[in-house]
Structure 1
Amino acid sequence: MEYMSEEGYNKILAELKQLESVELPRVREAIAEARAQGDLSENFEYHAAKREQGRILSRIRFKQRVLEHARIIDRTLLGSDTIGLLSKVEMTNVANQMKMTYTIVNPHEANILEGKISIKSPIAKALTGKKTGDTVTVQVPAGTLQLRIDNITLG
């Protein structure tokens, strides 16, 4: 079972519907057109369309499994005194005083460009359970970070 936000659940559901109702019919049509051209053994378009169909079907099965095991978190039951899933954390890198803000989310919702990091990431693991004012040491691929937690809110 995986917990996620309602927005994350809806985003995965929308992607699944797009794959099933738009992408899969498009590739099936391409397969039918390529098949109509005759000899399939040397038909590049046919083989490319079949590979694309396999990729789409695999993606559909993956999204279905994610949704099957997903549970939407009721934000009203979450507290903002300690860091956990869906916490928005404002922190400062102690070494260079650089401020950063991340929301801790399910791995399927993670998107660094949107400021969302996976709860399974090194930074989120180090932050989980901590409170405002705490300083944590995080081992990341680039080295070690000292982060001071400035504020915690619900993301």
Structure 2
Amino acid sequence: MTDHIKKQLLEEIHKLEHELAHELPAEIKKAVALGDLSENAEYHMAKQRQEFVNARLGQLKKRMAEFSLVNLANIPKDKVAFGSTVTVFDTSKDDEIVYKLVTSEESDVAKGLISTTSPIGRALIGKQVGDTATVVTPSGKRELEVLKLVTIHDEVEA
């Protein structure tokens, strides 16, 4: 996992923890002071925000735990995997395309950064140069032939 993604997640976690511990209790206390809670919009909004923040914190902490399990030594050196840059020939578009497989937080299709969990990413994982991947997309099936592969290990060595 790239360090800047880990840093972004940690920053969001710290921001949400601060909101949960300091800002939301103050908002709730202020809303309670206004009186009748059954018709108190400020109170209900603060409680809804508190639930959302708790849920988001759970998601972020789970994602950080998942990232801590990533071991670069387990990533194959000769097959498409996380961190690989893959040049493919798309037979349906009659075009060469370069993709880099990244985390879902980093994905940006316009820049060729695709998530390992996207349909194209999942179809390419485990492929080698010369293999063909069939991708089912909303616009139909696409055949992608792997022309060139640069793994995360190749990039580290360069």
- The answer to whether TM tops 0.5 is yes
User: SS of the counterpart of 2:37?
Assistant: coil
Residue 26 of structure 2 corresponds to residue 29 of structure 1: yes
Question: Which residue does the alignment assign to 1:10?
Answer: 7
Unpaired segments ≥5 residues, structure 2: none
Unpaired segments ≥5 residues, structure 1: none
Q: 1:96 to 1:20 in 2, by over 3 A?
A: same
Q: 1:92 to 1:60 in 2, by over 3 A?
A: same
In the TM superposition, 1:54-65 aligns within 5 A as 54-65=51-62
Q: CA–CA distance in 2 between the matches of 1:71 and 1:5?
A: 11
In the TM superposition, 1:58-137 aligns within 5 A as 58-71=55-68, 73=70, 78=75, 81-107=78-104, 109-112=106-109, 115-137=112-134
Q: CA RMSD in A?
A: 2.7
What is the TM-score of this pair, normalised by structure 2? Answer: 0.76
- Equivalences, count: 151
Q: 1:98 to 1:18 in 2, by over 3 A?
A: farther
State percent identity of aligned pairs: 31
Question: Which residue does the alignment assign to 1:41?
Answer: 38
Which stretch shows the higher mean deviation, 62-71 or 33-42? 62-71
Residue 149 of structure 2 corresponds to residue 152 of structure 1: yes
Higher strand share: 1
Does the aligned pair in 2 maintain the 1:9–1:72 contact within 8 Å? no
Q: 1:55 to 1:128 in 2, by over 3 A?
A: same
Higher helix share: 2
Question: Which residue does the alignment assign to 2:136?
Answer: 139
User: SS of the counterpart of 2:92?
Assistant: coil
Q: 1:31 to 1:147 in 2, by over 3 A?
A: same
What is the TM-score of this pair, normalised by structure 1? Answer: 0.77
Q: 1:53 aligns with which of 32, 50, 58?
A: 50
Select the structure with the greater relative contact order (CA < 8 A; seq sep ≥ 6): 1
Q: 1:124 to 1:63 in 2, by over 3 A?
A: same
